[in-house]
Every structure is written in C-alpha cells, then in structure tokens.
Structure 1
Amino acid sequence: MPSSIFILCMHLKTMLLAKVEIVISVLLLSLTLVVIAEGDDISSVVLQNINGSSSMSPFLKKIVEWPRPREPGCRNRPWTCRRPREFPRRWRCCRNQCVDVSSDVNNCRICGYRCPLGWQCCRGFCVNTNISIFNCGRCGNRCPFGVLCTYGMCGYAQPWPRPPFLCPPPPMN
C-alpha cells in the first residue's frame, strides 16, 4: 500500500511540473510579444537624443543625420560598370548588376535580350555553336577551311583526311 501512495505522489508531481512548464512557456511567449509590439527601434532613440541633447558635437550630428547608405548595385550608379580604356563598351548595368553584354546569354549586346536555348553570346551576337564554323563548340573556335562544324565539333563524322583534289582526265579524241 505505501508503494502505491508513493507512485501516486510521483505521478501527481510530474503532472504538476508539466503544468508549471506550460504556464512558464505561455508567460515567456506573451512577454516576448509585448516587447516586440512596444519596443522602440534604435534609430528613433538616437534621433531623440540628437534633437534633445546639446552635448553632441556638430561632427557627430552630421554623421548621424547623413542620408541612409546607398542601396547596393548599379541601378542608381550605372557608371560603376564602366571599365577605363575599353572599346567597345562591354559592361552595362542590367537589372541592378554589372554584366558583360558581349558574352552573357541573358543580356546579349543589350540588356534583357536572351539567346535561344543552346546558343551562346559571342561578341554580342547570339550564335549556334553546334553548327557555326567560326564559333564551333565555343566562341572563337574556327574550323579549318572546308571542314564543317557538327554537334559543336569540327569535322565530326567526316572522312579524314580528305581525298586530294584530282584534275579531271583530258578528253580523248
């Protein structure tokens, strides 16, 4: 009998602890929400300090009242994409990023002009590098004279070496 009373007491104790933990969790959550809802951000406190106190130096007032920092990117400052002594201009500000428009497939020659699927931007022109003899497989890769570009490879599935050119036989009289 005493052991059953002990077990009952332990069970009641664990139930009480569980309820206490739940109550504490709810109180902490509500306290957090109150702090978030009523909290002041630091900038308003700093500005109140600046306006209300005369102990701050004019230099510090100027620094704190300075306009907000510029947003990142080149949208408001397109000159940041220019490279000195570069002609023609390859770098432009497209969608707030500096982009090389001579080789970017999403901005080929001008911002927003996309090359078709499987094509590449070579010197500002969209090129199918699977069949172009001047850009075979990659930009600037030229195939030798008379050799075709197939599947991005010069001379793929062509007889090699090519038979020599034979002069037609002279006519017989």
Structure 2
Amino acid sequence: MKLTLLLLLLFLVTPFAEGDTADNSIPISPWLRRGRTPAPRRQGCWFRPWICCERQRPLERRLCCSNRCIDVGSNADNCGLCGIRCPFRWRCCNGLCVDIMWNPAHCGSCDNRCSLGSRCLFGLCGYAEPVSTTPPLLHFLSPACPPPPVHPGATA
C-alpha cells in the first residue's frame, strides 16, 4: 500500500515539474539563434582604420593608436608614430619632440621663431639680452663716411 501511494504521488508530481520548465515553443537551431541577436558593433579604429583619415584638417596626420584616432603631429604621448612619448617639458611639434624652452625655431610654443640674433631662453625670445637701439648687423649695411667737401680753388 505504501509503495502504491508513493508511486502515485511520484507520477502526479512529475508532470507538473516538467510542465513548468518545458518550453512549449518550437526549438530553434543555434545558427538561427545567432542571427536573431545582432553581434555588438566593434568600436574604435582597430577594425576600421580608414575612419582616422576621414576628417583630417590640413597639416594634420592622424593614426589609429590604442584603438583611438590620434593626431601624431601634436600629441606628446604619440609623437610622429604611435607610442613615441616626448620627455617632460618637451612638446610634439610637427611630429618631432622639441624642447620649447631652448629651441629658437619653437620658442615657448610650436613654430614660434625668434628673430635673427635673438636667443631662446626659458621659452622667451631675447630673455635677459641687452636692449639695442639698432638692429644687429645694421652698422655693416650703413654707407661709409662721406668724403670731405672739395673746395673749388684748392689743389691737391
């Protein structure tokens, strides 16, 4: 009797347990299931490097560095090429690392040229130089002293 009751109880519980977890829909193949959920779009430029060249300004050179479009002409962490880092206090000017504190062609900032004869010190053109009233090399360009006037009756 106990065995019959136990078997009857087992048969009654089994269909309810299976009915709760069973999926009544038509089974879908894994190939179709992949097509239903779109794959996430890959972000960045590693898989699409041409996007770095789309919106370039003149004199700008962009490359895909660490999955980001970087202007390697002015970025101090990627100067000229990806991964080339400029030293402390230096700047990336036109793809080259430059010390803007002492370079007369890039004094204080990129492409800031000091005038001829002026030095670049601490990022300033002509810092602590004496003030001259005439530009340098001007005395070489001025004419020599004029000859003394000749008197009409004087003999040489």
Q: Answer whether TM exceeds 0.5 for this pair.
A: yes
Residue 63 of structure 1: CA displacement? 6.6
1:16-55 counterparts in 2 under 5 A? 52=27
Query: How large is the RMSD of aligned CA atoms in angstroms?
Result: 3.2
SS in 1 for 2:102: coil
Q: What's 1:20 paired with? A: none
Aligned residues: 115
Deviations 1:67-116 (A, max 9, x none): x1223211211111113676776000001111000000000010000111
Q: What's 2:95 paired with? A: 124
Q: What is the TM-score of this pair, normalised by structure 2? A: 0.61
- Choose which of 106, 109, 113 in structure 2 pairs with 1:135: 106
- Which one has a bigger Cα radius of gyration? 2
State the percentage of identical aligned residues.
40
| Aligned-partner Cα distance in 2 for 1:162–1:145 | 15
Residue 79 (1) aligns with residue 50 (2): yes
Q: What's 2:4 paired with? A: none
Higher helix share: 1
Q: What is the TM-score of this pair, normalised by structure 1? A: 0.55
SS in 2 for 1:120: strand
SS in 1 for 2:51: helix
Unaligned runs of 5+ in 1: 1-47, 168-173
| Aligned-partner Cα distance in 2 for 1:163–1:156 | 17
Unaligned runs of 5+ in 2: 1-22, 141-156
| Aligned-partner Cα distance in 1 for 2:62–2:80 | 10
- Aligned residue identity for 1:149: C
Extract structure 1 runs of 4+ deviating beyond 3 A.
Answer: 48-53, 83-89, 162-167
